[in-house]
Copies of this chain bind each other. A is one copy, B any other.
């Protein structure tokens, strides 16, 4: 199954925002728009993104502030490409110091933007993760289990290894990244596979069922993953990170 890169375009100017989104979609990427910072954060919580295109000049929190906030939050690993208005070196230097991965000065050609987007994604993909800001921590503990996100498997209290398939691992990590939150099947599909649900798509139900089996989570008791009828699923157990108190 092919992964399609998903870009989040953040710009207060409606024309630029929709223009960029349309252009990216025409060129085979997924693209979503956000008009300002709060909307950006909301999108980041519900979908997985491969890159954020961020305008520097915006009312309210400007792009530099947002960029810095991003870098200290949960989505620190997502690459950022800044759009700077002037040919002003200070903005760009500050931007790169704030942790942006590239920048482009307005006005820009869509072609150039697309090329830079692809280049940044490629570049960050190739970097070994210890060289970048790490997205997730190594060990996520919950109940009697620990998930080793490096080795991509589960450990029980004795340290016994339980292997996970790729899809199971991704699903569990999404749950652990969003504990105590109802996640719809749409969101789960988006966050695990970056694709949208088709009609009568029940593959998520299946994956949940298989994950429950691995966790020996009885669907009746549902200690870990609770079903919320007609809404989705919740991971309903405290998760501790790298040995912190839960």
Which residues from chain A sit less than 8 Å from chain B, CB to CB?
1, 3, 89-94, 96-97, 99, 101-103, 105, 111-112, 115, 118-119, 122-123, 125-132, 134, 150-153, 161, 163, 165-167, 177-181, 187, 220-222, 226-231, 234, 236-238
Contact = CB atoms under 8 A, between A and B. Distances in A.
Contacts of A231: 3, 166
B153 A221 contact: yes
Given A128-B177, A129-B179, A152-B226, 17 more contacts: A1-B230, A93-B119, A94-B122, A96-B123, A102-B102, A103-B119, A127-B131, A129-B181, A130-B131, A150-B180, A151-B237, A152-B236, A153-B221, A153-B222, A163-B220, A165-B229, A167-B229
A111 B163 CA distance: 48
Nearest to A163: B221
B111 A96 contact: no
A15 B165 CA distance: 56
A12 B126 CA distance: 29
A134 B126 contact: no
A211 to B, nearest CB: 16
B238 A150 contact: yes
A57 to B, nearest CB: 17
A178 B128 contact: yes
Nearest to A87: B111
Contacts of A123: 96, 101
A177 B125 CA distance: 12
Contacts of A89: 111, 115
Contact of A237 (B128, B150, B228): B150
Given A152-B226, A230-B1, A90 B103 contact: no
